[in-house]
Amino acid sequence: MTTDYVLETKGLTHEYARPGRSPLPVLAGLDLQVREGEIAAVIGPSGSGKSTLLNILADLDKPSGGEVRVAGERGVAYMPQKDLLFPWRTIEDNAILGLEVAGVKKKAAREQVAPLFAEFGLDGFEYVYPAQLSGGMRQRAALLRTVAMNRPVLLLDEPFGALDSLTRTQMQLWLAETWQRHGWTIVLVTHDIREAVFLSDSVHVLSPRPARVTRRFEIDLPRPRGAGTFALPEFAGLERQLLDTLLGSSS
């Protein structure tokens, strides 16, 4: 393990117990390195252990073996696949939930998140309830709640996977623009090759279960990125390389 990365795993292994059967291996010697301020995508076949990896990085599961290092003492903030907004809490009260759990008083938590609503496109929606929002706005609210935790690393598990194609593209463009201003360190799990190439600085391709990183792609497309990025010949070339690698690792 080194100090060159804000997040790093080395030789990570994990398996799940199965009553009456041998354990199910999920991760097998997985090495992952994430630099400060980068978006690192993790992509792989369905069932390869991507969500298990995030659960371990979030300290929700303990690995069977290997090492995990996150710089500093504040750990990570985790946004799961579903927005998990509480329907009986307003958007403001959902946004401060993580801070409240961490022991921040409600008044101080509200003051802390207040400046974020305009930037997340939620200005004026602080006092409505999740059922009154579109899918894209709910995802923004969930991401606002994650960012409000002020942790050095954000873990995003298929954050736009449930959205329709147009809304998903709009959210990708919004996240790219917002990240450009903040420079968050993000680990992004996705099944979408296009999304991985567009948003990321590096893409880590997993093998089928039990997973390991078979290849790391450096995405050197110019930033800031916008709608025109999708039309670049270099973008299409990276998509093809990633697809070829995934098909090869899945065969």
Q: Is residue 132 part of a domain?
A: yes
Closest Cα partner for 248 from 207, 211, 212? 207
Q: What is the pLDDT of residue 161?
A: 84
Q: Are residues 155 and 134 in the same domain?
A: no
Q: Is residue 80 part of a domain?
A: no
Residue 34, classified by CB atoms within 10 Å of its CB into exposed (0-12), middle (13-18) or buried (19+), is buried
Q: Are residues 64 and 101 in the same domain?
A: no
Q: How many domains is the chain built from? A: 2
The backbone region for 216, taken as left when phi is positive above 0, alpha when psi lies in -120 to 50, beta otherwise, is: beta
Q: Is residue 18 part of a domain?
A: yes
Q: What is the CATH number of the domain that holds 233?
A: 3.40.50.300
Q: What is the pLDDT of residue 2?
A: 59
Closest Cα partner for 12 from 2, 1, 4, 3? 1
Q: Are residues 103 and 186 in the same domain?
A: no
Q: Is residue 215 part of a domain?
A: yes
Q: Are residues 176 and 146 in the same domain?
A: no
Q: Is residue 2 part of a domain?
A: no
For 100, the domain range is 85-150
Q: Are residues 120 and 64 in the same domain?
A: no
Q: Are residues 24 and 120 in the same domain?
A: no
Q: What is the pLDDT of residue 46?
A: 85
Q: Are residues 221 and 134 in the same domain?
A: no
Select from 133, 150, 167 the last residue of a domain. Answer: 150
Tokens 């390869």, residue? 48
Residues whose CB falls within 8 Å of the CB of residue 197, separated by 6 or more in sequence, listed in order: 203, 219, 221, 235, 238, 239, 242
Q: Are residues 70 and 170 in the same domain?
A: yes
Q: Are residues 25 and 49 in the same domain?
A: yes
Q: What is the pLDDT of residue 249?
A: 60
Q: Is residue 186 part of a domain?
A: yes
pLDDT tens across the length of the chain (251 residues) = 556 799 999 999 999 888 888 889 999 999 999 999 999 999 998 888 898 999 999 999 999 999 999 887 678 999 988 888 999 999 999 999 989 988 999 999 999 999 999 999 999 999 999 999 998 999 999 999 999 998 889 999 998 887 889 999 999 999 999 999 999 999 999 999 999 999 999 999 999 989 999 999 999 999 999 999 999 999 999 999 999 998 886 55
Q: What is the pLDDT of residue 26?
A: 93
Select from 104, 126, 150 the last residue of a domain. Answer: 150
Q: Are residues 138 and 56 in the same domain?
A: no
d(CA 65, CA 59): 14
Select from 150, 165, 199 the last residue of a domain. Answer: 150
Tokens 């329709």, residue? 164
d(CA 38, CA 161): 21
CA 45 vs CA 9, 17, 191, 194: distances in Å: 20, 22, 8, 15
* Helical residues (DSSP H) of the chain, grouped into ranges: 50-57, 91-95, 97-101, 106-113, 116-119, 135-147, 165-182, 193-199, 233-250
Q: What is the chain's Cα-based Rg?
A: 18
Q: Is residue 61 part of a domain?
A: yes
pTM: 0.92
Q: Are residues 110 and 232 in the same domain?
A: no
Q: Is residue 1 part of a domain?
A: no
Please, which contacts does 161-165 make with residues 24 or more away whose CB atoms are closer than 8 Å?
161/81, 161/190, 161/191, 161/192, 162/81, 162/82, 162/135, 163/135, 163/136, 163/139, 164/135
Element (H, E) at 79: strand 76-79
Q: Are residues 59 and 120 in the same domain?
A: no
